[in-house]
Amino acid sequence: MKKQNRRWVLAIPAVAVVAMIGGVIYQAATKNATDRQSGKIKVVASLDSYGEIAKAILGNQGSVTSVMDDPDMDPHEFEPTTSDAKLYQQANVIISNGGGFDNWSLNFAKQNKDAK
């Protein structure tokens, strides 16, 4: 019985993360936060794991770019490039950790006032 309870306790945060990412993408879609050229939503995720969740939710309604797409890369040591900064400026939705894990992403996100 204890193992079953543990599974529920571990599943709750995962469901919460998926729901929050889905809510952000839905909010951006309903507020007409679309790319001017293609009419599609542009999502930038700091980590590939966030990007994969966003791709699953977004489907063919837009594009998702993960800045750190190598799972062996350490986010604390990551040095973003100017092309990474441009991705953040063009994004409609930005997904970051927010807990000090990827501060560089939060700094880029603050510069794009229109992104969710």
**Residues 40-82: pLDDT tens digits?**
899 999 988 899 999 999 989 899 999 998 878 877 778 888 8
Element holding 29 (H helix, E strand): helix 2-30
pLDDT of residue 64: 93
- 79 falls within a domain: yes
Structure-token match 């699953």, residue found? 56
pLDDT of residue 53: 92
Contacts of residue 89, defined as CB under 8 A and 6 or more positions apart, other chains included, come to 108, 111, 112
pLDDT band, very low/low/confident/very high, at 38 (cuts 50, 70, 90): low
pLDDT of 35 > 70? The answer is no
pLDDT band, very low/low/confident/very high, at 86 (cuts 50, 70, 90): very high
- 116 falls within a domain: no
* pTM for the predicted model, two decimal places: 0.66
Element holding 101 (H helix, E strand): none
Give me the domain span that covers residue 22.
Answer: 2-111
pLDDT of 114 > 90? The answer is no
- How many angstroms separate the CA atoms of 74 and 79, rounded? 10
Domain count, the chain: 1
pLDDT of residue 33: 43
- 15 falls within a domain: yes
pLDDT of residue 4: 63
Residue 55, helix vs strand vs coil: helix
